Amino acid sequence: AAGKRRGARCRGAPRTAETAQRLKRSRRLKANNRERNRMHNLNAALDALRDVLPTFPEDAKLTKIETLRFAHNYIWALTETLRLA
């Protein structure tokens, strides 16, 4: 409801330095895990994009930025082909 802060701590005993350190470490580990999952998802999406882009030779793996640029140019070329047809 109004006036409540997100993440406000419990009204129990005050935190000790050790408890604060444990909480800080726990939050950092969770943040690291979220970032790791985010990067895994991004890399999986880029791999899926690479699978549908025509590349020569077939075994050439494009970098992330090359994949995005290639996809942009490929979509533009397909759009132009449709527009001119």
Exposure letters 11-45 (e unless 16+ CB within 10 A, then b): eeeeeeeeeeeeeeeeeeeeeeeeeeeeeeeeeee
**The CATH number of the domain covering residues in 17-84:** 4.10.280.10
pLDDT along the chain (85 residues), means of 10: 60 80 96 98 97 86 95 97 94
Domain extents in the chain: 17-84
